[in-house]
Structure 1
């Protein structure tokens, strides 16, 4: 039974992340952003959401934790590097995006509160 515990935790974390991404997308749509893509995996990195508002294309990292302050500290240097690598790969495959302002945002989800949207949460490395 103990062998299944890590698998159960991974599945629970996957479900939590999936719900948090939908919740974050809903919040962003209420703020006028239009969805472009979800769960993009490229070049060894993942982009949770890609949204657009006007001439700004936003690559979003969603972090969900039991508490909001834990979510706020969950994006480390390695995650930012992988995220940036995936963004660069996505932009190279979508030349139209080069005409837009590109930004990396974060949405933090914790507890039962409203998600916290942080525009320009970090730089997209190498752009």
Structure 2
């Protein structure tokens, strides 16, 4: 029972962090194309576009930014890349766009931090 409560709290924290990330991106002029995109073994928290740049964004909420950035492991990066590939395969209109993999870090009592192009292809 305690494990289910912990999972629910983590899920809610993740949703709040994604909402914060979406608002940050909107304030920076990005349009949101999708949230919680999943296909096959790929998953992306937020997909955003600004001009001819398409960003696949991972959102991490932790007690501090150092722990948040450590949570973006190579395995997670691969999952995000697979999600990006699936998204682009179904939407050829974005084929000519510049693709970035961004991370938004969320920590209590801190403004969120947007790391553009946090990891490569």
TM-score when scaled to structure 2?
A: 0.97
Larger Rg: 1
Question: Which of 56, 69, 85 pairs up with 2:66?
Answer: 69
Name 2:14's counterpart in structure 1: 17
Structure 1 unaligned spans of 5+: none
2:92 paired residue among 80, 95, 100: 95
Work out whether 1:52 is the aligned partner of 2:52.
Answer: no
1:111 paired to 2:102: no
- How far does residue 22 in structure 1 lie from its aligned partner after superposition? 0.4
The answer to whether the Cα contact below 8 Å between 2:42 and 2:86 also exists between their aligned partners in 1 is no
Structure 2 runs not aligned, ≥5 long: none
Q: CA deviation at 1:88?
A: 0.5
Secondary structure at the counterpart of residue 99 of structure 1: coil
User: How far does residue 66 in structure 1 lie from its aligned partner after superposition?
Assistant: 1.6
TM-score scaled by structure 1?
A: 0.92
The partner residue of 1:43 within 32, 40, 45 is 40
RMSD: 0.8
CA distance in 1, matches of 2:56, 2:105: 14
Query: Deviations 1:25-47 (Å, cap 9, x if unpaired)?
Result: 10111011011111101121210
Structure 1 residue 101 displacement after superposition: 0.7
What's the secondary structure of 1:105's corresponding residue? Answer: strand
